[in-house]
Amino acid sequence: MVLIGSLMTLSIVAGAFAWGALRPVKQPAPHEEYVQVETVAEAPLPTPSQGLVVEDLRVGTGALARSGAELSVHYTGTLKDGKVFDSSYDRHEPFSFTLGRGRVIKGWEQGFSGMRVGGKRRLTLPPELGYGTRGAPPKIPQNAQLVFEIELLGVK
75 is catalytic: yes
Residue 39 inside a domain? The answer is no
81 is catalytic: no
105 is catalytic: yes
Q: What is the pTM (predicted TM-score) of this model?
A: 0.69
Residue 143 inside a domain? The answer is yes
Residue 38 inside a domain? The answer is no
**How many independent structural domains does the chain possess?**
1
Identify the domain containing residue 118 by its residue range: 53-155
Beta bridge partner(s), residue 96: 72
The pLDDT of residue 123 is 97
97 is catalytic: no
| Helix (H/G/I), strand (E/B), else coil: 82 | coil
What Rg do the C-alpha atoms of the chain give, in angstroms?
Answer: 34
Task: Give the pLDDT mean for 116-145.
Answer: 97
Residue 119 inside a domain? The answer is yes
Q: Which residues have CB under 8 Å from 107's CB, separation 6+?
A: 52, 123, 125, 129, 130, 146, 148
131 is catalytic: yes
Least confident of 34-38, 82-86, 126-130: 34-38
Element holding 76 (H helix, E strand): strand 70-79
Question: Which one of 4, 12, 56, 85 is the catalytic residue?
Answer: 85
